[in-house]
Structure 1
Amino acid sequence: MKKLICYLLVLGLTITTFGCSFLDKEEFVGVKGHVTLTNTKLKESTSTQQISTQSFAIKGITSANSKEEYVQDEILVSFEDVAKTKVTNLLAKYGLTVKRELHKLKIKVLKVNSDYDLKTLIEQLNNEAIINYAELNRKIRLQAAISPNDPGYSKQWNYKAISLPQAWDVTTGSKEVTVAVIDTGVDLDHPDLEGQLDLKNSVNVINSSSTADDDHGHGTHVAGILGAVTDNGRGVAGINWNIKIMPIKVFGATGSGNYSNLITGIYWAVNNHAEVINLSLGGSEPTSSLNSLKVAVEYAYNKGVTVVAAAGNGGEDMIGDLGLLYPAHYPSTIAVGAVNSRLERANFSNYGANLDFVAPGSYIYSTVPPDLTNNDLAITDPSGYKYAFGTSMATPHVAGLAALLIASGQANTPAEVKRQLRLTAQDLGVFGRDKKHGFGLINAYAGVKNAKITKTQVFAGKMNGSIINRTSQVTYPVANGFYSLANIEAGSWYLYGWIDVNNNNLVDKGDYFGKTDSRVSRGLNVNLNLSLITDKAIQYQVE
């Protein structure tokens, strides 16, 4: 099968900013600063500025500040290990009936008599000795919106923005890696998803069947980003050419769902051997700090399953809020915000201290069901493809890269996946982790090639033709990209940053490299941006 590999022929090697002397009484004779890995630069033609920016909210999706942000006649209760008669007596006392049981999580979904005020009932139940906790069965919502379908738009700018074409030269994924899409289901008959779906382990949580077909469109769009069939002369490309996508349906045709279905889906994914779970959804804060959703994502984490969750789209006004939705708020997930084609935080993207990474989320072109004409709430198009935007679209970029990292052997556990993403991300905004970008924009090539920021050789030197003569010792940045290079000789010189990705002691194609535009001297803060060398004609010897 012929691979679709895309390269930029020439990429500038030098971007730097500097200034501000930091010399103090201790006379530090060196330079300090920050190093950033950059993704491949987007061409102007890939910009979405020419696309209409009119926003379309998905109808029927309950917002976080809705008056009915929880299921009106249901609660979730976790009981102590006590005699069955005690549980039966308590249920009778409050007029509760068991609607469904999540056995492994020891949680019961209880139907409530309409005479009760749910919040008052929750308070009363949490005072009962045989109850661990009781909580509202909060609603969750999808984190996407529809955008215009402009056929002149360069359809997949998002992959170039995260250096994915270069990563495909290293790995295109593996059928041994399964990503669970807990969502509205997936179009099981979409030709651009043929052979990519794990139908044996798919499930419809809503009606307890194995048919997780999509009657809304959101889950199909997410699945196409993760793993549409690639190099087949049809439709769109997926992040993973080889993958198993496990469809788990927890939303109906209206795009509305609840926590009980979500946690059932998480449990199903873990116990049916998913390595990654994609949650392009979110809900408001659970009733108590100890709650069923937190238990579920921690269960996944402790079983070695990476959970990737959308930060949220700011509610009905589609303006990003300070504070992440749940479960993205939990540290046991990877929380994902969105950027546009200018690599700016998308205005709809929620942000906060718990945000981990950002990924493309504006005007993303992917698969949708072609025939949902009877559903006014659906994301559908006769062509089988459509633009959408939201942190829902950003999330499968990160989940997809997590699958590539696992396939390439660069990571396995949730902690390893997050660390690899962190050490290879492109820092955006304030240096280091910040509320609006987390650790930065994911970088697929750096991730699968293990080009960690901590491997950057920072040194002073002078260039003589194809030879770079070092004039200082070599130092390495710490995990947040900051470095300190001491004991540099007086005078002026260039400052270099280099990751020898190929391990051949040459600065050449496939390496990350950067240098200052002009000579600098000690006592300055010097910040370096390292770019990927894509031109095979570029080669330097470092001595």
Structure 2
Amino acid sequence: MKKGFYVIGLAIFVLILTSALQTPDKIAYVEGEVLVKFRPSASAQAVSSAASSVEATDVSQILNTDFRKIKFAKTRQVESAVQTLQSLPEVEYAEPNYIYYALNTPNDPSFGELWGLENTGQSGGLAGADISAVQAWDVTTGSDQVVVGIVDTGIDYQHEDLAANIYKNPGEDAWANPNDPTSGNGIDDDGNGKVDDWMGWNFIDETNIAKDDNMHGTHVAGTVGAVGSNGKGVVGINWKVKLVPLKFLDYEGSGTTEDAIEAIIYAADLGAKVLNNSWGGGAYSQALLDAIKYANEKGVLFVVAAGNDGTNNDVTPTYPANYNVENVVSVAASDRADQRALWGSGGDGGDDCGFNCSSAMAATPGSNYGPKTVHLAAPGKEIYSSVPGGYRTLSGTSMATPHVVGAVALLLARNPSLTAVQLKQVLMNSVDVLPAFEKTVISGGRLNVAAALASF
């Protein structure tokens, strides 16, 4: 991110990953910051004047866009600054720096089985309640030509089960060690404003060290693309793929809208065709929506976790899952028995908790749903995958999302010409329609990657 002289800055929204339950008692937005989008016709003088109107202390531009981030004294009310900026003719919109929170349900480490890929009824599950990955692998096991963006906490790019599938930027020169992002030549070889972005980017610190210091991003990455048939750990839906670490969430799982926007735009410009977004759960942001629309224009599918509060997204929107853009796919979580996943101690029965559920059921934390806003379900409860230095079982719609992203990557390996809209249609039309999801997600079912591959 380049600092401008007095160019109004975008308010940062703090976004946090979607594998844990949302914490309701956190603050709503970052004090002393606002996100602003100027009209293309706005002059530098108008931008400077707008910044002065709220007594800006620091202003920065996000990439090469009309988005700006403005900082001001924390004693000034954010709402007042937004109103002042919004009233200016050169401003298209201004927003607070909304805060979002992690939605993951933490578990203790346990022996995990990859039931989401092949469910034989193990551990009390229902045989066949899986995405039919084994049948899909008869068609393709993936391709190292498919680039997948993991917008998250980073990835342990030295993990034994992931290292071979980490994206290496062909436009940068890693002259010393191609497996170490610190070994670059100190030159922005590809001219994209990111020096030595050899293995993704850290949008928090603006460095090329996008290593996971949380575990969430590495877990997600393993489901999409842990190396197959290497005699180690687990296998991803794609045995071969290229995973781009796009770190905008920190060690606590929090990040800003500014950094999320940069990550999305960067990935779209890089050539990623699908983005995994296992985060969210907060307020509407026009700035974030614009970034998703930018990705749509670039042909990028934006797959996002529906949330883990057990609520109906049709009634209580959560973002970015609720953005109505043609490239957005919102994912609910299913359990071993092909029910909507519940995280509470009494939720293992997996009641679908649709419109007629009791208040007790509704109070049980579980996967969000929405017959008009959530597109399909995928395995998301008790999912075993890679974490930094090892493996672990986690639950949440964060874990369901990479199952869908992995399926998309397999589809692209089979047919690289598929557009984002076509990919979405294939996913929706090939689900296993199930009673638990007929009235709770748009497609009425749970992901079936083998059926998706067989549809063309």
How does the TM-score come out when normalised to structure 1?
0.65
Equivalent position to 2:382, from 335, 338, 363? 363
In the TM superposition, what is the alpha-carbon distance from 1:66 to its structure 2 partner?
3.7
* Amino acid of the structure 1 residue aligned with 2:141: T
Quote the Cα distance in structure 2 between the aligned partners of 1:423 and 1:60.
Answer: 27
What CA deviation, in whole Å up to 9, does each residue of 1:378-431 have, x standing for no partner?
xxxxxx000000000000000110111111118621100110011111112378
Question: Could you tell me whether the CA contact under 8 Å between 2:32 and 2:75 is conserved in 1?
Answer: no
* Structure number having the greater strand percentage: 1
Aligned to 1:100: 60
Matched with 2:341 is 346
Letter of the 2:383 counterpart: I
Take 1:93 and 1:149, find their aligned partners in 2: how far apart are those partners?
53
1:306 is aligned with what amino acid?
L
Alignment match, 2:104: 144
Q: Is the 8 A contact 1:337 1:394 kept in 2?
A: yes
How far apart, in 2, do the equivalents of 1:217 and 1:188 lie?
A: 12
Structure 1 stretch 134-143 or stretch 246-255: which is displaced more? 134-143
Looking at structure 2, the residues matched to 173 and 268 of structure 1 have their Cα atoms a distance apart, in angstroms, of 23
1:442 match:
447
Partner of 1:173: 142
SS at match of 1:298: helix
Q: How far apart, CA to CA, are the structure 2 residues paired with 1:302 and 1:449?
A: 27
Q: Pick closer, same or farther for the CA change 1:360–1:60 going to 2, 3 Å.
A: closer
Query: Given the alignment, which residue of 29, 37, 58 partners 1:70?
Result: 29
| Cα distance in 2, alignment partners of residues 429 and 128 from structure 1 | 52
Q: CA deviation at 1:283?
A: 3.3
Q: Please state how far the C-alpha of 1:144 moved relative to its aligned partner.
A: 2.1
The equivalences for 1:122-271 within 5 A come to 122-151=82-111, 153=112, 155-160=113-118, 161-199=130-168, 200-271=198-269
CA distance in structure 2 between the partners assigned to 1:190 and 1:120 by the alignment: 47
Shift of 1:437: 6.4
Structure 1 residues 115 and 136, CA gap change in structure 2 (3 angstroms)? same
Contact 2:146 2:412 in 1 (8 A): yes
Q: Tell me if the contact between 2:225 and 2:236 (Cα under 8 Å) persists in the aligned partners.
A: yes
| Structure 1 residue 113 displacement after superposition | 1.7
Residue aligned with 1:296, SS = helix
Q: CA deviation at 1:251?
A: 0.9
- Of residues 305, 313, 319, the one that matches 1:310 is 305
Q: CA deviation at 1:82?
A: 1.8
- Structure 2, unmatched stretches of 5+, are 1-16, 119-129, 169-197, 343-365
2:362 corresponds in structure 1 to none
Change (3 A) 1:331 1:355: same
Q: Distance in 2 between matches of 1:324 and 1:201?
A: 34
**Contact 1:184 / 1:217 at 8 angstroms: preserved in 2?**
yes
Name the CA shift for 1:195/1:60 in 2 (closer, same or farther; >3 Å). Answer: closer
Partner deviation per Cα, 1:137-156 (whole Å, 9 max, x = no partner): 222334322223333x5x10
Counterpart contact for 2:331–2:375, Cα < 8 Å = yes
Q: What is the percentage of aligned positions where both structures have the same residue?
A: 35
Gaps of 5+ in 1: 1-57, 371-383, 452-543
Q: Relative to structure 1, is the Cα distance of residues 410 and 114 closer, same or farther in structure 2, using a 3 angstrom cutoff?
A: closer
Q: Distance in 1 between matches of 2:320 and 2:231?
A: 38
Q: CA deviation at 1:104?
A: 3.3
**Separation in structure 2 between the aligned mates of residue 144 and residue 438 of structure 1, nearest angstrom:** 24
Question: What does residue 322 of structure 2 align with?
Answer: 329
Q: Distance in 2 between matches of 1:128 and 1:409?
A: 48
Quick one: distance in 2 between partners of 1:430 and 1:158? 17
**TM-score with structure 2 length normalisation?**
0.77
Instruction: Give me the whole-angstrom Cα distance separating, in 2, the residues matched to 1:408 and 1:133.
Output: 42
Inter-partner Cα distance in structure 2 for 1:101 and 1:233: 47
Q: Amino acid of the residue matched to residue 309 of structure 1? A: V
Amino acid across the alignment from 2:386: T
- Contact 2:136/2:450 (8 A) holds in 1: yes
- CA distance in 2 between partners of 1:246 and 1:449 (Å): 28
SS in structure 1 of the partner of residue 418 of structure 2: coil
Partner Cα distance (2:100, 2:158) in 1 = 27
Alpha-carbon offset, residue 194 of structure 1: 1.8
Relative contact order: is structure 1 or structure 2 higher (C-alpha 8 Å, sep ≥ 6)? 1
How far apart, in 2, do the equivalents of 1:60 and 1:69 lie?
Answer: 19
Give the whole-Å Cα distance in 2 for the aligned partners of 1:392 and 1:184: 12
Residue by residue over 1:138-194, the C-alpha shift from the partner in whole angstroms, topping out at 9 and shown as x without a partner, is 22334322223333x5x1001020101000010011111110001000012111112
Of 289, 299, 305, the match for 1:294: 289
What is residue 541 of structure 1 aligned with on the other side? none
1:343 corresponds to which letter in structure 2? D
